[in-house]
């Protein structure tokens, strides 16, 4: 069973955030999650985002925890 997206956002809000951001990767992630809010399968959202379903799941977890700012690229751990 897929992890549900948080209820305080919707597809239109994520698309608006994608238009405002200057980070292309964040915009791609927001648009993929907006498609999930619209009822598209996670597989189709992965195709939209150009990633695997597992990566979409990771985006959902980050989005649920931190909102749209959680989808900004972070520095990789390590040296």
Domain layout of the chain by residue ranges: 12-71
| Region 46-68 average pLDDT | 96
**Other CB atoms within 10 A of residue 78 CB:** 4
The pLDDT of residue 2 is 83
pLDDT for residue 60: 96
- Which residues, including other chains, have CB under 8 Å from residue 49's CB and lie 6 or more apart? 28, 29, 31, 32, 55, 56, 59
Query: How far apart are alpha carbons 65 and 23 in whole angstroms?
Result: 19
Global pTM?
Answer: 0.90
**Residue 12 burial by CB count (10 A; 0-12/13-18/19+): exposed, middle or buried?**
exposed
Task: Write out pLDDT tens, residues 17-41.
Answer: 999 999 999 999 999 999 999 999 9
- pLDDT of amino acid 49: 93
């Amino acid at each position: 069973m897929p992890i549900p997206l948080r209820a305080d956002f919707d597809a239109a809000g994520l698309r608006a955030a994608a238009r405002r951001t200057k980070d292309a990767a964040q915009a791609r992630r927001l648009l993929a999650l907006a498609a999930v809010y619209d009822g598209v399968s996670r597989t189709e959202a992965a195709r939209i985002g150009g990633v695997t379903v597992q990566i979409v799941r990771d985006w959902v977890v980050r989005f649920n925890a931190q909102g749209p700012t959680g989808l900004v690229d972070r520095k990789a751990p390590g040296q």
